[in-house]
Amino acid sequence: MKDNLDIERERRSLSVRCNMLARRFAKCTEHVKLTLFKAYCQSFYTCSLWVDYTQRTYRDLRVQYNNAFRMLMGLPRYCSASGMFADSRTDGFDAIIRKRCASLLRRVRDSPNRILSALTERWDSAMLEHWIHLHVD
């Protein structure tokens, strides 16, 4: 019941999407590339539900995300990830994951379904523990 396979699937999918974008839109402006990146490479489907995975698998996805941005934007391989995202005024990997998790937590807490709202009120819930960990570290 680990999430490693789902994270690996997402990493491969991100690689394919970014390679396609880099090939087809190499001559476009930076603004167009940034818009395409946000639309196609920042949608980590079900990432807010990942709670049981290895750090290596998670790190591999983050590295793939950073490298995908570098490749699409034509940046050097070893440039600073935080610097390149700050310069382009776009969210880095950790910010995206935190936002997705916070959004799901808010929607579950606001749900009229008592079972769903009970999941977020339990302090021993794996999902709540993961969400808190994302925002504290």
* pLDDT score for 106: 84
Domain range holding 131? 4-136
Asked if 64 contacts 14 with a C-beta cutoff of 8 angstroms, the reply is yes
Q: 121 is written with which tokens?
A: 């009120």
Using N-to-C axis directions, what is the helix angle for 55-73 and 30-41, rounded to 10°? 150
* pLDDT score for 105: 81
Q: 6 is written with which tokens?
A: 């789902």
Its pTM stands at: 0.84
Fill in the DSSP letter of residue 28: S
pLDDT along the chain (137 residues), means of 10: 90 94 93 94 86 91 95 91 93 91 84 80 71 68
d(CA 105, CA 99): 10
Q: What residue type is assigned to position 97 of the chain?
A: I
* pLDDT score for 46: 85
* pLDDT score for 136: 65
Closest CA to 130 of 100, 109, 107, 89: 100
d(CA 59, CA 42): 16
Number of folded domains that form the chain: 1
* pLDDT score for 137: 57
Asked if 72 contacts 32 with a C-beta cutoff of 8 angstroms, the reply is no
d(CA 129, CA 17): 32
